[in-house]
Structure 1
Amino acid sequence: MQQLARRHSRIIIDENQKVCLELDSKMHDLEFKPKQLHDLVVRNDSDRRNLDKQKEKNMIKAKYLKMATTEQQKSDENVLKLVEKHKREKQATIDEIIKLEQKMDPRQKLELKIKQLQRKLNVMKHMPGDEDFESKRKIDELSGELREKYDEINEMESLHGILLIKERMNDNELQDARKKLIDGFLDVTTGQANIGIKRMGDLDRKSFAIACKNKMAKEDAEVTASVLCSKWEDEIRNPEWHPFKVVVDGGKEKEILREDDEKLRELKEKHAGEVYALVTNALLEMNEYNPSRRYSVPELWNFKENRKAGLEEVVEYLLKQWRTLKKRKR
């Protein structure tokens, strides 16, 4: 009985100790909870303040971005107006030059008339005998007519010179407008747009990689394409390599690729087809746009038709984009 009582007492004591430990743990948790809640409140306040600050910064950024967008739109509108003005002036100058060219036959007739008057006047001046009143009158009349013809031809030459100078000035202004459009396109990501910027003389790495994949094993194509593309980019930019020869076509000299060039022949033997075409096309572009310094030059390009974009179609494209943007804002 005593043993049972002691065992029972021990069980009760152990249970009491276990309960005490549980109570102590719960008390500790209860004491720690307020601290956790306090830290959580402090953290939430800090996060809220940071969020408010971030919102404020974003609002300021959005404000300045909106202002910058507005200024860019104004600048684009001014450029478009300038291009349209230059286009009209260019057309007027061309019309004047055409009219002047049409007057070239009258000018030749005028020069012939002057020579005839000079001969006639010289004959009359050297005729023997006394000069009567009628002869003097004819000489004076011929001299006056000759002066008038000289004035006409001088005026015609002066007009021709003025028109040529004006045409050069308009060409320079149009080139400046084209440069401004190129600079504007360089700052804008056009994605898959029909009109954009192409760097003349650069190898098209994407097309180059696709061409290599069509000729090589898939696992080797990517690395090989990258190495091969870098190699030929360096070759194209090398000013000491000039695989061109001069030929006369239609009375005009032009440069074409030399088929017997060692590097090109080696490229054609190893990578005939699309890879060879991409390299030679980039080489021709570099020779056309920057043959001496050998670095790529940005050009307005019609990607849909794969050709250089004219100033008129670029302006029409920008006007279309601008109208679309205005409709979206409404």
Structure 2
Amino acid sequence: NLRDKKEAPTEMERQRLDEGNKKKLGSLDQRKTDDCFVRLVEEQKKEKEETLNKIHQLEKELDCKDKLEMETQELKGKLQVMNEELEEKCFELENLECIEWALVIKERQSNAELQDAREALIKELRELVSDRTSITIKKMGELDEEPFIKACKERFTGEEADVQHAMLFSKWQENLKVAAWHPFKRVGTGDQMQEVVYEEDKQLKSLREEWGENVKNAVKTALEELNEFNASGRYPVPQLWNLKEKRRATLKEVVEYMTLQIKNLTH
């Protein structure tokens, strides 16, 4: 009995220990369950966030796609308008080119008619004008002989002066006919560009050094006139000339001069 009494508490203690262990195990299981639940909740939360992010990203991409489509349509519309405007401009340009070509033809015809009129007047006025009348006929590009005569008389005497003058003058008449000799330079830009005599040309410079400024200027003037009135032919051509103003006479000036001469003859 005493032994039973001693073992009894031990059994009771074992039972209490078992119950304590069960409670501990239960507590551990509960903790594990709670931990699993928390992890599950966190994983679901993370998946939900990832899903929402994907949805937002897709929405953004969709918005971008919509905007891109709208911009594409807008650009297509602008391109269509530009094409229509371009076609219209091309049509206008073709019309302008036709008008311009018609004007060019008309201008050429007018210039040809004016040139014919000038040539006819030159032919008729040859016997009616002189170096003393206000309107005369001047051969443009013709070399002025006077400076050559003067220069040779200053250097030579008698017949020698005449011979030297004839040789020098003839030489420069021939030089002026050489189309390959083009002692000009361009000055200015755009519509203001023009050709002027290049006075540092080797031949002109040599002429000035040997025979003086006046002889060189006579050749320079002939070159300028040839370049303006007969650049392709390089020979003197007759022109109606306003002697007072030292320029080519207009047809109006020539007609007024002829009208005045007729009136003077009838009175």
Is contact 1:203-1:282 (8 Å) kept? yes
Corresponding position of 1:172? 112
Is contact 2:149-2:162 (8 Å) kept? yes
Residues 262-273 of structure 1 aligned to structure 2 (within 5 Å): 262-273=202-213
TM norm structure 1: 0.46
Corresponding position of 1:304? 244
Supply the distance in 2 between the matched residues of 1:223 and 1:315 (Cα, whole angstroms): 43
Is contact 1:198-1:300 (8 Å) kept? yes
Residues 15-164 of structure 1 aligned to structure 2 (within 5 Å): none
Aligned-pair identity (%): 41
Supply the distance in 2 between the matched residues of 1:188 and 1:203 (Cα, whole angstroms): 23
Is contact 1:212-1:275 (8 Å) kept? no
Match of 1:241 among 152, 167, 181: 181
Count of equivalent residues: 181
* CA distances 1:151-204 after superposition (whole Å, capped 9, x unpaired): xx79x9687776665554333322221121122233545352221111111112
Give 5+ residue unaligned stretches, structure 2. Answer: 1-76, 82-87
Match of 2:172 among 226, 232, 257: 232
Supply the distance in 2 between the matched residues of 1:162 and 1:284 (Cα, whole angstroms): 32
Give 5+ residue unaligned stretches, structure 1. Answer: 1-118, 124-148
Q: How much does 1:242 deviate?
A: 1.9
Supply the distance in 2 between the matched residues of 1:318 and 1:258 (Cα, whole angstroms): 39
Q: How much does 1:230 deviate?
A: 1.3
Supply the distance in 2 between the matched residues of 1:233 and 1:160 (Cα, whole angstroms): 42
Is contact 1:194-1:303 (8 Å) kept? yes
Is contact 2:139-2:237 (8 Å) kept? yes
Supply the distance in 2 between the matched residues of 1:207 and 1:317 (Cα, whole angstroms): 31
Corresponding position of 2:149? 209
Is contact 2:187-2:196 (8 Å) kept? no
Larger radius of gyration: 2
RMSD across aligned positions (CA): 3.4
Q: How much does 1:317 deviate?
A: 1.1
Q: Does 1:259 align with 2:189?
A: no
Instruction: State the one-letter code of the partner of 1:279.
Output: V
Is contact 1:203-1:233 (8 Å) kept? yes
Partner SS for 1:177: helix
Relative to structure 1, the CA distance from residue 164 to residue 231 in structure 2 (aligned partners, 3 Å threshold; closer, same or farther) is closer
Corresponding position of 1:183? 123
Q: How much does 1:299 deviate?
A: 0.9
Q: How much does 1:295 deviate?
A: 1.3
Instruction: State the one-letter code of the partner of 1:249.
Output: G
- The higher-RCO structure (CA 8 Å, 6+ apart) is 2
Q: How much does 1:233 deviate?
A: 0.7
Instruction: State the one-letter code of the partner of 1:294.
Output: R
* CA distances 1:205-236 after superposition (whole Å, capped 9, x unpaired): 245424554x4355354443332211111111
Supply the distance in 1 between the matched residues of 2:156 and 2:266 (Cα, whole angstroms): 50
TM norm structure 2: 0.55
Is contact 1:178-1:311 (8 Å) kept? yes
